[in-house]
Amino acid sequence: MKRTTVYIIEKEAPVANLIRYHLLSHQAKHVQVFPTPAECLYFMQKKSIPDFLIADLEHPEINGPGFLKSILQSFPGIRTLFLSPFTDDSLVTQLMEDGATDYIYKSGRMEEWIHELVKNMEFLIREKSQAI
């Protein structure tokens, strides 16, 4: 994950900071947290596009499928991962069919699903580097 830039959209600062800590401890190059989708999108339009965008579906401003469609229209190919405690299989299926990279259930202890998130991102990075 040495050259990886990650943006996180998470309204709860303690959760966002814990995710950020774990990603940086796994050698992510840059991790930035945004409290709202609007701030993140503005930053992406003006500054730079991350390798990964992690968005919490519990955010009141995020409608999963609509948000994903907007992101992929503006930034095709961005790897978007969603976090949620919701186990709605139809939502997960729709997001994955629409182009989401991954969906992590926020179940159990926080550190368990964060570990799963990091592990999945490391897999995606290895997969991409092997394809090159």
Instruction: Say what the pLDDT of residue 32 is.
Output: 95
Domains (range + CATH), the chain:
5-131 (3.40.50.2300)
pTM of the model: 0.90
Instruction: Say what the pLDDT of residue 131 is.
Output: 67
Mean pLDDT by 10 residues, the chain (132 residues): 86 91 89 93 92 89 87 92 86 92 89 90 83 62
Look up residue 105 and give its two tokens: 């259930």
